[in-house]
């Protein structure tokens, strides 16, 4: 395979070189943050942190206390609207770029500020993504995400423009209109959320493979290998995934030329280590997990010194991959494709822990399954009831419907260890997501919340 390097000196550097670069930037970041940021300074004082003791990545992870999204929301509520952590950047009198979270975690809508220089650095990170995906300057690219106060959409648009892509922002139009615009302008790539591309393919139907799409720039949510493979088959295109979070206000983990990989060897989302420190920790002990182990993602931006983000616990779970784990040989650390999910997404059903990602991975291996929804309820004995509502790719009647329901029920029991009721619906009966997928509804009496 021919590899495409955005920064050959860094991508081919030794692990020791990357670690040395990181610790030098960490020490400078800690010193400036202590001097200018009362939010972090008080947080560190509470933990009796001596920043002069930070001389390695190990001491950084062991001694610098993490912050949580709850801490960030509490800060902006205590000093609205931006919080104490933004006092310094506001005092500079420079233009700011404000981004908010979508609030899907239930922890409130966070507000995050950046300078124009920080925003430009986000575009610089995406050069890796576009290069590894094989994008070329002037490639026509349809952006299907809305441009708003959310980080998602605005960051993607700017990154594409700065790279030199011919960006077509089409989120204003409904999906049928977007399909017609694709047929008219023949873009090489689609840039958006992973689940939305499934919706677009469903609307386009048999036309999907004739749209001429070569590259799917997916992301903004976790997805299974099976879902990615389904998208690639529908479009006749290669999927290249990305990872970023609202509080980082950037995408910073990307798949390389190997893309999503396979179920036997999933691809790797490579973290841009020179600019972002990735930790994956055991949430109970705080220790960094080993290669192939799952834990909570903790992130530090090394380039945002006026609006620092230092050791922020994300609440996201993923499987860690050490530098060099991918066949491409790059020395960046990363996480495994198909392993990303919310720590609090685990569902305890009938006393058994069930990860939604595992159900996603199972059901999309069946070509008959177009999409699905799991509804959790309680029966008259207060016992949990899990119902998998399956939307098939084509209409199914009679014995074929019963056989599919039985097959899926058996597979779900084997995978999850509990029984599911399986209802086979009609095609088009489940409303598709225009942004991120919401496939689980918890309607049990003790929860009554949508997730």
Residue 416's pLDDT is 84
Overall pTM > 0.85: no
Residue 414's pLDDT is 87
CA distance 285 to 259: 33
Q: Is there a single domain that holds both residue 249 and residue 326?
A: yes
Q: Among 312, 345, 378, where does a domain finish?
A: 345
Looking up residue 428, the CATH number of its domain turns out to be: 3.30.300.30
> DSSP readout, 100-124?
E---TTSS---EEEEEHHHHHHHHH
Q: Is there a single domain that holds both residue 416 and residue 386?
A: yes
Counting the structural domains of the chain, the total is 3
Asked if the structure places residue 5 within a domain, the reply is: no
Q: Is there a single domain that holds both residue 415 and residue 334?
A: no
- Which structural domain range is residue 74 located in? 18-113
Residue 447's pLDDT is 47
pLDDT in single tens digits along all 451 residues of the chain: 899 999 999 999 999 999 999 999 999 999 999 999 999 999 999 999 999 999 999 999 999 999 998 999 999 999 999 999 999 999 999 999 998 886 544 445 889 999 998 888 889 999 999 999 999 999 999 999 989 888 888 999 999 999 999 999 999 999 999 999 999 999 999 999 888 898 899 889 999 999 999 999 999 887 888 889 999 999 999 999 999 988 888 899 999 999 999 988 999 999 999 999 999 999 989 999 999 999 999 999 999 999 999 999 998 899 999 998 899 999 999 999 988 887 766 777 876 778 787 888 788 888 899 889 999 887 766 578 899 999 998 888 888 999 999 999 999 988 888 889 999 999 888 887 665 667 888 887 554 443 4
Neighbours of 379 (CB within 10 A): 8
Q: Is there a single domain that holds both residue 282 and residue 431?
A: no
Q: Is there a single domain that holds both residue 162 and residue 297?
A: yes
Residues 6+ apart with CB under 8 A from 82: 76, 90, 111, 113
Q: Is there a single domain that holds both residue 181 and residue 203?
A: yes
Asked if residues 218 and 152 have their Cβ atoms less than 8 Å apart, the reply is no
Residue 435's pLDDT is 59
Residue 436's pLDDT is 65
Residue 173's pLDDT is 92
Q: Among 53, 84, 113, where does a domain finish?
A: 113
Q: Among 67, 96, 113, where does a domain finish?
A: 113
DSSP 352: E
Neighbours of 360 (CB within 10 A): 22
Residue 439's pLDDT is 84
Neighbours of 250 (CB within 10 A): 28
């Amino acid at each position: 395979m021919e590899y495409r390097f955005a920064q050959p000196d860094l991508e081919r550097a030794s692990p020791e070189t990357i670690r040395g670069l990181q610790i030098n930037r960490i020490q400078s970041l800690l010193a400036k943050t202590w001097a200018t940021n009362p939010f972090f300074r008080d947080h560190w004082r509470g933990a009796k942190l001596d920043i002069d003791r930070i001389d390695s990545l190990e001491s950084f992870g062991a001694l610098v206390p993490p912050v949580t999204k709850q801490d960030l929301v509490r800060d902006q509520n205590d000093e609205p609207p931006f919080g104490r952590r933004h006092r310094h950047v506001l005092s500079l009198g420079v233009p700011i770029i404000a981004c908010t979270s979508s609030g899907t975690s239930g922890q409130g809508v966070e507000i995050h500020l950046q300078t124009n220089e920080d925003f430009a650095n986000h575009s610089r990170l995406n050069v890796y993504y576009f290069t590894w995906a094989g994008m070329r300057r002037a490639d026509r690219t349809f952006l299907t995400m809305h441009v708003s106060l959310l980080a998602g959409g605005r960051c993607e648009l700017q990154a594409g423009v700065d790279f030199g892509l011919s960006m077509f922002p089409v989120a204003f139009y409904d999906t049928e209109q977007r399909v017609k615009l694709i047929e008219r302008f023949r873009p090489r790539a689609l840039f958006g959320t992973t689940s939305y591309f499934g919706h677009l393919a469903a609307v386009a139907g048999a036309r999907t493979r004739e749209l001429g799409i070569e590259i799917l720039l997916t992301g903004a949510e976790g997805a299974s290998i099976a879902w990615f493979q389904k998208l690639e088959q529908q479009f006749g295109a290669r999927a290249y995934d990305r990872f970023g979070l609202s509080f980082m206000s950037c995408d910073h983990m990307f798949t390389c030329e190997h893309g999503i990989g396979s179920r036997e060897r999933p691809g790797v989302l490579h973290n841009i280590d020179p600019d972002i420190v990735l930790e994956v920790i055991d949430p109970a002990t705080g220790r960094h997990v080993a290669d192939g182990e799952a834990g909570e993602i903790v992130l530090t931006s090394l380039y945002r010194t006026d609006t620092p983000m230092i050791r922020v616990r994300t609440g996201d779970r993923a499987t860690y991959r050490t530098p060099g784990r991918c066949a491409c040989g790059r020395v960046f650390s990363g996480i495994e494709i198909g392993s990303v999910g919310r720590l609090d997404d685990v569902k305890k059903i009938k006393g058994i822990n069930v990860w939604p990602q595992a159900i996603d991975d199972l059901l999309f291996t069946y070509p008959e399954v177009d999409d699905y929804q799991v509804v959790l309820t309680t029966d008259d004995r207060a016992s949990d009831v899990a119902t998998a509502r399956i939307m098939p790719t084509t209409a199914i009647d009679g014995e074929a419907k019963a056989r599919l329901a039985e097959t899926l029920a058996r597979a779900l029991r084997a995978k999850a260890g509990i029984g599911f009721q399986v209802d086979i619906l009609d095609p088009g009966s489940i409303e598709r997501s225009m942004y991120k997928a919401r496939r689980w509804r918890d309607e049990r009496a003790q929860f009554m919340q949508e997730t």
